[in-house]
Structure 1
């Protein structure tokens, strides 16, 4: 039997909570389970490292029962567990609701904003956040998508703008349903839901607001908006965890400045794997430096973080930016 040793670091979000347990499994490279593991790696659900001349597959599988141990599971039980994990991955889908709308009247304008809720299906979603968008935001999204997907979107119709009766309850109610259906149709197309434009529609205004607050030193308000944006990013960016890095680093800055040292350290640990994996060179040294400082304050062991920081600072690929994490974060959305 030909076997491989694969060290996987899986991260599947369930209600925005990460759950990890170590499991060890011996897998024949010709078996379907082996290729199932590789399939999940290639789809970006895991980080992996192949270790030479070993006889097992070791992986951290999210969703394992608390206290589970590889020593007490048979191969069949491990296979059953892995099938359940794969099923959880496949079931992560999103639903969209527009439960309400309100009319805003200002001195020179009057418009309707629609409340949008993004819901993770398959299980109870504890992290429900609402955002508000105008019809013009939907229109701008559609125009952006048409630039790259004009043929693919021939059957996806954005509700047309009405010249009269925009503010009647009947028209607003009809448009709520139509706009919700529009988002559902976009999300059903994989090539659309993975675009930066689609994701930015749900997160960009909130992120811009958060960074403006952060630059103004209003860390408590910025933290609240960033946490809301992060919930949406996690739901919309399961295919690309790199999109979370700037937001997580901004959260570290806010939490640290507010004195939440423990939370800042935990958030930094959440950001590090993606920073390493996706080559965020401009974030890596500032984040590691912040983590070492936070670790010292918490009296946590930081030797490995220090060693990694020194290696990054002495990298043969060129000089490393000397800016702090805070200086780097405030440059976003400028």
Structure 2
């Protein structure tokens, strides 16, 4: 009978004493990164003067970022001071008590277009957004996300209605990137109209892979929160594209059949494109 060989001890993780200084520093950074909460950050790095025949005004470039993540590109939108003013008034209608000490930077009666006033207000508006986001009820309300996406979303849906799908895609991608930064504090259905519009544009541009990916990404939130009018339309699109792409669609087809039976046909009245063009009218 053969004798058992020597027992091999399981490999152990290197002790702290065996790690180099560089490895210890990297481990410490990684640990801090895991513990650090994600925060929304706002920057207004620049502003520009827009001139029309009868008017002249300043638009501010608002950059939205998330802390603790590498972003390959900076996503931003432009807003006028009057946009900030109207936004602040809407917030006061709902959160006057919570915003008692948070004041919107005032508009100057003179020299509004001078470089020093523009620079001063740019920094003040940047600080205003940071203070707003520090208020929990504001951070968890839909108002801030809408302020930073709704104008672009309305414009994009207008482009979809006009059949300008390529131009709409550019706007929708900006909207989606900003909305996704808000998702830790917002209802996941926030991105459903945007993803549905993206799927519609890609479909009409004969880009089935991208259309399938966008529709598939929207489906979990639609299922979870019972958005059945979107659910049927998304499933219908996914089944159609799935057959075109050679993807397995049996489960999607079964889900669509069950949904239509439960709704007695009502859920199948509108295609995804019809739903998209009805949004933000």
Q: How high is the TM-score relative to the length of structure 1?
A: 0.72
1:317 positional shift = 7.6
Q: SS of the counterpart of 1:330?
A: helix
In structure 2, the partner of 1:94 is 40
**Counterpart check, 1:131 vs 2:73:** no
Q: How high is the TM-score relative to the length of structure 2?
A: 0.85
Deviations 1:23-52, CA, capped at 9 Å, x for gaps: xxxxxxxxxxxxxxxxxxxxxxxxxxxxxx
In structure 1, the partner of 2:238 is 291
1:316 positional shift = 5.5
In structure 1, the partner of 2:137 is 191
Q: 1:106 aligns with which of 52, 55, 79?
A: 52
Q: 1:236 aligns with which of 157, 179, 182?
A: 182
Q: Distance in 1 between matches of 2:135 and 2:263?
A: 43
1:130 positional shift = 1.5
In structure 2, the partner of 1:308 is 255
1:276 positional shift = 0.1
Report matched runs for 1:1-334 at 5 Å: 88=34, 91-239=37-185, 240-315=187-262, 319-334=266-281
Q: Distance in 2 between matches of 1:234 and 1:221?
A: 21
Q: SS of the counterpart of 1:133?
A: strand
Note if contact 1:194-1:237 (Cα within 8 Å) is conserved in structure 2: no
Note if contact 2:36-2:68 (Cα within 8 Å) is conserved in structure 1: no
Q: Larger % of helix: which?
A: 2
1:126 positional shift = 2.2
Does 158-167 or 189-198 show the bigger shift? 189-198
Structure 2: gaps (5+ residues): 1-29
1:88 positional shift = 4.8
Note if contact 1:96-1:118 (Cα within 8 Å) is conserved in structure 2: yes
1:256/1:133 CA distance change after superposition, 3 Å = same
Q: Distance in 1 between matches of 2:265 and 2:160?
A: 30
1:319 positional shift = 3.0
Q: SS of the counterpart of 2:191?
A: helix
Note if contact 1:233-1:244 (Cα within 8 Å) is conserved in structure 2: yes
1:166 positional shift = 0.3
Note if contact 2:239-2:249 (Cα within 8 Å) is conserved in structure 1: yes
Does 320-329 or 268-277 show the bigger shift? 320-329
Q: Distance in 2 between matches of 1:265 and 1:203?
A: 24
1:185/1:317 CA distance change after superposition, 3 Å = farther
Does 89-98 or 125-134 show the bigger shift? 89-98
Note if contact 2:230-2:272 (Cα within 8 Å) is conserved in structure 1: yes
Note if contact 1:249-1:268 (Cα within 8 Å) is conserved in structure 2: yes
Q: Distance in 1 between matches of 2:140 and 2:111?
A: 35
Note if contact 1:98-1:115 (Cα within 8 Å) is conserved in structure 2: yes
Q: Distance in 2 between matches of 1:132 and 1:266?
A: 29
- How many pairs align? 251
Aligned-CA RMSD value: 1.8
1:263 positional shift = 1.1
Q: Distance in 2 between matches of 1:216 and 1:113?
A: 26
1:250 positional shift = 0.5
Q: Report which of the two structures shows the higher radius of gyration computed on alpha carbons.
A: 2
Deviations 1:262-286, CA, capped at 9 Å, x for gaps: 1111111111100100111110111
Q: SS of the counterpart of 1:116?
A: strand
